[in-house]
Amino acid sequence: MYKIISWAAVIIWMGFIFYLSHQPATVSNELSTGVTEVIVRTIEKVAPNKEFDIKRFNHIIRKNAHFFIYLVLGVFVINAFRASGVYGYRGMALALLVCVLYAISDEVHQMFIPGRGPGIKDVLIDSAGAMVGIGIYMFVIKMLMIRGVL
């Protein structure tokens, strides 16, 4: 049952990524601008004299979103492979491969969305996020094994 739930989490998260990628550029930008504005307002409360280049900050928020969304995907995919009995370097390599291929397909998908397009830099950011997620997951698993929890 755990294996089914693990793979369902992967599919649901991929669906969430697809949903976000399927938004036209104007809608996607409104979403990230809204998040940026909330963050800027919060920072201004703490540091009222801090000046921001909102456009640049929004760009940073967007690229960080790529990284963290794929970090989560990496965790879900490596977990699903482990639940399926695929361990060690093989599991890590397969998990990274799935994430990179999905990142590439996501960028190809964006070619067909108004105002959006593919970006090699985005695939690299996505892949780095997935790699970090897989690494964090494996580190936690290793620590739990050392402590005798697993």
Report CA-CA distances (Å) from 8 to 15, 34, 35, 135: 10, 30, 28, 21
The pLDDT confidence band at residue 66, using thresholds 50, 70 and 90, is: very high
The Cα–Cα gap between 109 and 92 comes to 25
**What residues make up the domain containing 123?**
2-146
- Number of structural domains, the chain? 1
pTM for this model (two decimals): 0.90
pLDDT for res 32? 84
pLDDT digits (tens, 9 = 90+) for 133-143: 999 999 999 99
> What does the pLDDT look like over 77-108, one tens digit per residue?
999 999 999 999 999 999 999 999 999 999 99
